[in-house]
Structure 1
Amino acid sequence: MKITPVLMSGGAGTRLWPLSRQARPKQFHPLGGERTLIQDTALRVTGDLFGPPIVVANAAHESLVRGQLAAIGLTPRAILLEPAGRNTGPAAAAVAAFVAREDPEALLLLLHADNRVRDVAEFRRAVAAGIPAAAAGALVVFGIHPTGPETGYGYIRAAAGDGAARQVDAFVEKPDLASAQAYVADPAYSWNAGVFLFSAGLFLAEVRSLVPAIAEAAEAAVEAAQGSGDAVILGDAFLAAPSEAIDTAIFEKTNRAVVVDADIGWSDVGTWQALWSDAPQDAAGNVGATVTAGATGCLVISDGTPVVLAGVADLAVIVENGVVLVARRDDPEAMRAAVAALRASGREDLL
């Protein structure tokens, strides 16, 4: 039995605006690598363990998905196109309903298309370690070994026990710094990277039981789906699904959740701080500037305009398609506020 990878590509990556925009979110950018994030994600789930991937994407991104996968020689099993984003809970339910029509015992591996993994071999080993539990009826979540007290990530607390898969004791959302520091020191805790493994039919049954409104909308959307070839346009019933993440909608409520450790060098590549940390820096800690004079710890990403930094520190300076952003490198909340301010001012054309 081969696992069907499911690449969740519906996110907008607003913390990386203006590089990541509605027309071309962050998964379609290389962000310091040779390939784009969705390309790296798709290649990560090739080999003996995996069948062709299913991609869940916004309908406006079909050509981007198809073109970027074709560029690395991959043909998806299907591209499920959402009429509008409803978060990962409804998206996962729709994929499960789509696959379960043919094979309810098929194993699905859900993963975000816009994350980075440094140790691909260890990632595949972790997935293989989760197969017995998923085949036996568990909903598997992969727990990432924490490398620091991150307050922007969710955490998983595992119950005591031996074996590759341990029962999930609790999910903890974005803790304060003191709690995060305690979690890093406690081997029971791991980061929740949003990578899940389960059988299609069992997951769908769990969604029906725990959040019937999501199940009803997702199944109706699959039933009314249209398209040709590998493109599947979900029906408008999908819009009736409550917008909720798979974590809170299902995994925090089910008693079937188990966690498998995955020390894979994971990053969500979701902030300027993360991009700066991953990139080669000059002696003053700067990345990407054309010329610097007394500047330290800054990140510059430009689509061609030269950027000179003088006497500043810890900034992100982004020049993209006619827009310039200057922000603190380490303040993702300021980015959310900037995007909210653009919406409030009616500048949707810039998003």
Structure 2
Amino acid sequence: MTARTIVPVILSGGSGTRLWPMSRPEMPKQMLALTANETMLQLTAGRTQGERFAAPIVVANARHADLVEQQLADAGAIPQALILEPAGRNTAPAIALAAIAAGGGGDALLVMPSDHVIDDVPAFHAAIEAAMPLVSQGWLVTFGIAPDSPEIGYGWIQIGDALQPGVHRVARFVEKPPLDKAESMLASGDHAWNGGMFLFQADAYLEALAQFDPGILVATREAMDKARTEGTRIYPDATAFATSPDASIDYAVMEKAERVAVVPVAMGWNDVGSWDALHAISARDEVGNAHRSEGDGNVLAIDTRQCFVRSDGIRVSLVGVEDLIVVASGNDVLIMPRGRSQEVKKLIEAMKNDAAKKDAQAG
């Protein structure tokens, strides 16, 4: 790699409701130890420690400030800035806040979600190294995940002409596709999954916002100009930030800019977007069960196959069943067939509706 330092930007504002009941608004997915003894946030910060990387800039929900600080301190990853959003406005404004906090100049920003798995960190670092020469020329770079299935839950990237070894021009971004289109893209061999990770200079990103979505730039600059600072904590002005358009970086910038490149990489990536996804990457016994407990022997499975079982408290016992997801957290227990864990969002919606009805009746 070149000697240039890279500033990690860790996005930690999500709520992660697809992993209910363990993930909740007050304790979102990135704050949980789902795949290792460290939390997802700690693992993300750990991928970019060392002389190659500066201290991270973390963008998080203000309600999680204490939790984020404690987890990063425990991991030895003290941020240079903890930007606490007064409200969620999607990734484009969040990254703009970080770019402004970094000084808005030629520093390279490595933007990473805080709740993804990367098993092959050396491969990730090699992809970063491949991208840096173009980043230094003002290109906006994304990382394309080598696909292994016709996934309809991700956006895709069509890989265009080679710009230099390991780096290609983005031919186009593809929204989450129907199954037949995903199968066709997988078979073509020239598409990758969009993993939501980016590398670019702060000034290149802010200039792209000025061209393609200036409302975001105006709102975030004002929010940072009027921000309140407490140590490393930065509280952007809520009124100014609320005027920002709600837009993803893909929609606001990446799909519109001219000099956009992709580095295809196979690095053991997973967004852990459901209990099924976690089962797929978890260690399993000889009959396919994956179970983990945070208590003392509080999961027991007899004559049980291909189940995912997790409890952070109460005892969970299974006998003579297969292909189930069972997750117990606090007073809540989730039970559903494997393969249907994306439907947790239906439960969340039903619970919200039920709570609204009870509030209306009480009123």
Query: How would you bin the TM-score normalised by the shorter chain?
Result: over 0.9
Cα separation, 2, equivalents of 1:328 and 1:193: 27
Cα separation, 2, equivalents of 1:136 and 1:198: 9
| Contact residue 217 and residue 241 of structure 1 kept, 8 A | yes
Cα separation, 1, equivalents of 2:281 and 2:41: 18
The answer on 1:89 being equivalent to 2:98 is no
- After superposition, the C-alpha distances for 1:3-57 in whole angstroms (9 at most, x for unaligned) are 1000000011111011111111111111031211111100101123210000000
Shift of 1:347: 7.0
Shift of 1:310: 3.2
2:80 aligned to which of 74, 77, 82: 77
Aligned length: 347
1:245 equivalent in structure 2? 248
Greater Cα offset, 76-85 or 237-246: 237-246
RMSD of aligned alpha carbons: 1.8
Shift of 1:284: 2.7
Shift of 1:304: 2.2
Shift of 1:162: 5.1
The TM-score normalised by the length of structure 1 is 0.94
The answer on 1:318 being equivalent to 2:327 is yes
2:17 equivalent in structure 1? 14
Please give the residue correspondences for 1:187-206 in structure 2 after superposition, counting only pairs within 5 Å: 187-206=189-208
- After superposition, the C-alpha distances for 1:105-163 in whole angstroms (9 at most, x for unaligned) are 11111000110100111111111111111110110001111122222111110113352
Unaligned runs of 5+ in 2: 293-298, 358-363
Unaligned runs of 5+ in 1: none
| Contact residue 160 and residue 188 of structure 1 kept, 8 A | no
2:180 equivalent in structure 1? 178
Name the SS of the counterpart of 2:161 in structure 1: coil
1:265 equivalent in structure 2? 268
Name the SS of the counterpart of 2:333 in structure 1: strand
Cα separation, 2, equivalents of 1:240 and 1:327: 41
1:4 equivalent in structure 2? 7
Cα separation, 1, equivalents of 2:190 and 2:52: 28
Q: Percent identity?
A: 39
Q: Aligned AA for 1:161?
A: A
1:298 aligned to which of 284, 294, 307: 307
Greater Cα offset, 112-121 or 172-181: 172-181
1:329 aligned to which of 318, 338, 341: 338
- After superposition, the C-alpha distances for 1:84-113 in whole angstroms (9 at most, x for unaligned) are 111111101111122235xx1111110001
2:107 equivalent in structure 1? 106
1:217 equivalent in structure 2? 219
Shift of 1:301: 1.0
The answer on 1:41 being equivalent to 2:44 is yes
The answer on 1:158 being equivalent to 2:159 is yes
Q: Aligned AA for 2:337?
A: R
The TM-score normalised by the length of structure 2 is 0.91
Cα separation, 1, equivalents of 2:28 and 2:211: 34
